[in-house]
Structure 1
Amino acid sequence: MSNVICLYCLQCVVYTKFKGASKKKTRKEQFFTRNLLATSRSLPRAITWGRPYKICGNPVILSEKAFNRSGMMGRYRKASPREPQTTILRFCSCFGLWRVLYILAMQTKLAVPIAAKNLEQAARQIKAARAAGADMLELRVDYLEGLSGEMVEQLIAGIRDAEEKTLPLIVTCRDARQGGAIAYPVELRIAVLKAALKARAEFIDFEYENFRKIENQEKIRLALSRTSRSRLILSAHNFETKFRDAGRLYRDILSISPTAIPKLVYTANHIDDCFDALDLLHHTSGHRIVFCMGEGGLISRILAKKLGSFLTFASVEKEHATAPGQLTIEQLRSLYRYDTIRPNTQLFGVIADPVGHSLSPAIHNACFADKGLNCLYLPLLVQGGQREFDTFLNHTLLRKWLHFGGFSVTIPHKHNALAYVRSKRGRVEPLASKIGAANTLLVGPDGILIASNTDYAGALDAITKRMKITRGDLNEMPVAVVGAGGVARALVAGLSDAGAKITIYNRTVEKAEKLAAEFNCEYTGLDDLPGLDANLLINCTSIGMHPNTKATPVPAELLKKTMAVFDTVYNPARTLLIKEARNKKAKAIDGVSMFVNQAMAQFKLFTHTDGSAKLMRKTVVDNLKRARARSQNSRSLTKDKKTGDAGT
């Protein structure tokens, strides 16, 4: 065992030797060959390696002759016997815990972009980013008006003076063709990056396409050679679609600058486009930045930490986002439990279109945290029909290293989920088969899929609890169901099993007739609602859902004190129908109750433990209140803006 000094961070590094590399490699050698020798085309007969433990995190991979060569795999020199060596590195070397150290060293940073027009705005954004818990700052100086090298030096100096704890800085002056805010000439942009290096910024970001030009390359290499602590990020962006060959682009970047950090960012027009990014992260190692933009690319930003990306970006406020689909720090840390994500974190998610409004990630992740489970629940926007649904699940289940354990399924994919499981010869629970839709998919230990439906139990439990009856009391009870879609189907199936006398009311009579025929009940059109006579009225339509909160499927004059009124809409929790039912002293059952009940059943299937119904309901109500407050603030700002415009 020996020492090497990394000249990027001037820290002592321990390295150990693997001899006989030409022979069949051990598992340890295979791991480090794959993970640390990404920029080398062949493995030397004897290699030495190590990891700096403090600042730069560069891999040290040197052959026996490397000490006598200059410029090989970065800048390193031999350490003198008196230079420090950490106890933890000695311990890890002796006990074979290098893999653990490697994973710990590769913790994904949370970088906040600072996109301000002037230094005053930048100072405010930086203060907010530090308060929010940023690990790193990206100074998007292409947003600054009247940009100059002196301005950048002043900005960095101001940051350093104000900091109690130094945050690493990335200085980016993006080309307008690759998303830059202001079209500054390349000469000025390079001068600005030189100024950033002079001010001791830890990283500079430059476009790979422009770096390929010899004159630009020479200037940046010369500037980097004058500093011992800064690294280059070479970035490639595609704002239209995914890269034709992301793997080749990644290798090209490393071939032109082996010590650079490759950054590949592209737009995911469909969630399936994310798999190129996820695959690249999985099959490579070291410092690299890979993720997708757009709503379809959301999961790649969240899973960056699971797959070991060097960093992922998040804004402090949504309006300060510098790219489509960029999350806020609060969303990453609170909603998606960013700080608890590990390489072996088990994944779950809700498959829907749209999915942005779903509260499932909030309630499931809250319960995962409450139970201390190493699990994460994601929003999965799957656009399209059966073919797109099948393709997404095929991609997901093929990549076992993602560790997906199950899925919630909602509009418009409940029928697609059932068809998919049947096509794969999985297990379909009898209730899901009878309803003709599945809202829950489980991935068994053997890879076999199991389809079930928890809407049925969630709805009946909400009804019986509020009405203070048993399921047996539903026998022969007159029930009016408004709607004939997927939710209505689950409720009609459950109520039919309980022996209720059901009448289905729907705008499209043919659809109501088809559903009624399957479950042997009555049907009619919405025009006949004035004649309804039921002990239980259920709304299974989306009427009254946010943002159309002033609509109701049933006029108030038709509601009676003797009725129980159940609205399956849960956003808002108190719909107009629920408010009017309470005004009539009827027993009102809100959609939150059904939503929480079915989520509780899903949580049990996912984790084999019981979630907290109280926590789930509180999470739903709190999120709905915050959403309503944001909506009101947005309307208020819009109104103020219009008033101001009118005044001028």
Structure 2
Amino acid sequence: MICVSIGRGRHRSMIAEARHVSEQGAQLVELRLDYIRRAVNLKRLLANRRCPVVATCRREQDGGKWTGTDQDRLMLLRQAIVDGVDYVDLEQDVAGEIPRYGKTKRIISYHNFTETPEDLQTIHQKLSRQDADIVKIATLAHHPHDNLRMLQLSETSRIPTVAICMGDLGTPSRLLAGRFGAPFTYATFHEDRTLAPGQLSYRQMTESYGYADIKSSTAIFGVVADPVAHSLSPTIHNAAFQDSELDMVYLPFRVPLDELGSFLGDCPELGIKGLSVTIPHKEEVMQFLDQVDTDAATIGACNTVVFESGQLVGYNTDHQAAVDSILSAHRRSGPTPLKGKTALILGAGGAAKSVAYGLTQLGSDVVITNRDAERAGLLAERFNCRTVAWDERQKIRAGILINTTPIGMHPNVNESPYEKRHIDRGMVVFDTIYNPEQTLLIKHAREQGSRVITGVDMFIRQAELQFRYFTGQEAPKEVMRDRLKRSTGAARF
């Protein structure tokens, strides 16, 4: 079950949103009384409600907007109970001042906006002693492992417990709460109006992730990155899982580089069966794998991990996706269209390795350039390529220009790694960034009359291959492509 938190300044707006989400299927709504900018009319808010309601009035110290006296706040919560609200949320330090009355159930809560404390069990015990029907603990995650700690707290508690992490590191705890026994999780009415750090909207929880269908039997997959909020991998993989009627879900996992090993160790307990691996982990993940396929080993980078019989097996789908994307732009150029062609690769990370490997296999003259010249040199040596200094990159007469850097990625959409005046009509310009699809580099290339390949094409191709590794089935390509197009705006292929 999802509890939709609604915080609006006017009674009319709060009532309208509560009615709307209940019509959309919400089974529980939290009315944040502290958001209302005038005297709260509880009878008006609770009359004709379409689903059960939680009455909450948060102090500023607990992340709320209440500026009145605490005496008035407690009086408001007592009145909500008298008026028959279904649930009341009470902080642990004041719960003893508001006794049980009538049929109203008590949610005893604790919020920590600075950390996830080590003594979670002690905190839970204190909350449980306050005549709790439900215990709620919400803390700020600093480590991916905090998610597992909170989920296991829900799973092992005798009193129904909602234990969730705030912040983008904590998103998995919100999505997996029900799988680990929480009576409900929290969502906001709209993604642009979050009431707590890291909250997802009711629409995202239901449409994108199918929260109600995530059970103990559900196989968990996801993308591991830092940052991860921009990733559209959950969008297309969940669309594919749903279309294929598979008991699987795909989540975003933000994992800092120095915590990758710890996160991979937590994966079995989280129920994770496979991962897409992206910036900055494609090379770092190699050291944690038990088996690596030939392509990934040669490239030195992995973008797909599958958990097979207790072992971590790594694959690379980027190189094939990149080559297929480039070949699609040379369909009329003969049987070996890339042989001898000069390809300038901007960047020297995991994606650059995959592209360089694929192109050298097809006989291209590959030139690597990167701001870190040493890194570019190591990549060039690995695949017997040439290098050019970053400041000299625009002097290379390349037939194919490939950007594998994050320059131009959302939110820095007004940046380009290559000046427009150096792009000529005979070039094929390939930007591996897919969000946005129409990067400034791609826009400039179109204006210069060049053939272009957007990151969407490569992104979909590599995701199709990942889907096959995850499921053993062919991917519903058009479903994935259509969902991505709807998420990024009209795309030109």
| TM-score of Structure 1 vs Structure 2, range by shorter chain | over 0.9
Pairing of 1:471-550 with structure 2 (within 5 A): 472-550=336-414
2:149 corresponds, among 276, 289, 296, to: 276
Question: 1:339 Cα deviation (Å)?
Answer: 2.8
Post-superposition CA distance 1:14-64 (Å, at most 9, x none):
xxxxxxxxxxxxxxxxxxxxxxxxxxxxxxxxxxxxxxxxxxxxxxxxxxx
Answer yes or no: is 1:199 the counterpart of 2:71: no
Pairing of 1:368-383 with structure 2 (within 5 A): 368-383=241-256
Answer yes or no: is 1:367 the counterpart of 2:240: yes
Pairing of 1:243-642 with structure 2 (within 5 A): 243-257=117-131, 260-284=133-157, 287-385=160-258, 388-397=259-268, 399=269, 402-421=270-289, 426-444=290-308, 446-468=309-331, 472-625=336-489
| Alpha-carbon distance between aligned partners in 2 of 1:470 and 1:274, rounded to the nearest angstrom | 53
Change (3 A) 1:492 1:121: same
Amino acid at match of 2:17: Q
Question: 1:131 Cα deviation (Å)?
Answer: 4.1
Quick check: 432-441 or 531-540, which moved more? 531-540
| Alpha-carbon distance between aligned partners in 2 of 1:471 and 1:365, rounded to the nearest angstrom | 37
Pairing of 1:49-198 with structure 2 (within 5 A): 109-147=1-39, 151-157=41-47, 160=48, 163=49, 166-198=50-82
Change (3 A) 1:507 1:203: closer
Question: 1:185 Cα deviation (Å)?
Answer: 3.6
Cα pair 1:205 1:235 within 8 Å, conserved: yes
| Alpha-carbon distance between aligned partners in 2 of 1:530 and 1:174, rounded to the nearest angstrom | 57
Aligned Cα root-mean-square deviation (Å): 2.3
Secondary structure, counterpart of 1:467 in structure 2: coil
| Alpha-carbon distance between aligned partners in 1 of 2:341 and 2:37, rounded to the nearest angstrom | 71
The unaligned stretches of length 5 or more in structure 2 are none
Cα pair 1:176 1:184 within 8 Å, conserved: no
Cα pair 1:483 1:539 within 8 Å, conserved: yes
Quick check: 127-136 or 346-355, which moved more? 127-136
Post-superposition CA distance 1:429-465 (Å, at most 9, x none):
1211111111111100x21110111111110111112
Secondary structure, counterpart of 1:320 in structure 2: coil
| Alpha-carbon distance between aligned partners in 1 of 2:335 and 2:277, rounded to the nearest angstrom | 26
Q: How many residues align?
A: 490
TM (norm. structure 1) is 0.71
Secondary structure, counterpart of 1:318 in structure 2: coil
| Alpha-carbon distance between aligned partners in 2 of 1:537 and 1:146, rounded to the nearest angstrom | 60
| Alpha-carbon distance between aligned partners in 1 of 2:416 and 2:193, rounded to the nearest angstrom | 37
Cα pair 2:369 2:389 within 8 Å, conserved: yes
Question: 1:470 Cα deviation (Å)?
Answer: 7.9
Secondary structure, counterpart of 1:334 in structure 2: helix
Amino acid at match of 1:283: T
Cα pair 1:281 1:307 within 8 Å, conserved: yes
| Alpha-carbon distance between aligned partners in 2 of 1:177 and 1:203, rounded to the nearest angstrom | 22
Secondary structure, counterpart of 1:414 in structure 2: coil
Cα pair 2:2 2:186 within 8 Å, conserved: yes
Change (3 A) 1:549 1:291: closer
Partner of 1:17: none
Change (3 A) 1:556 1:183: closer
| Alpha-carbon distance between aligned partners in 2 of 1:239 and 1:544, rounded to the nearest angstrom | 33
The unaligned stretches of length 5 or more in structure 1 are 1-108, 628-648
2:99 corresponds, among 217, 220, 228, to: 220
Amino acid at match of 1:282: E
Secondary structure, counterpart of 2:285 in structure 1: helix
**Which structure has more helix as a fraction of its residues?**
1
TM (norm. structure 2) is 0.93
Question: 1:256 Cα deviation (Å)?
Answer: 4.1
Quick check: 530-539 or 484-493, which moved more? 530-539
Quick check: 551-560 or 570-579, which moved more? 551-560
Partner of 1:231: 105
Give me the identity figure in percent: 34
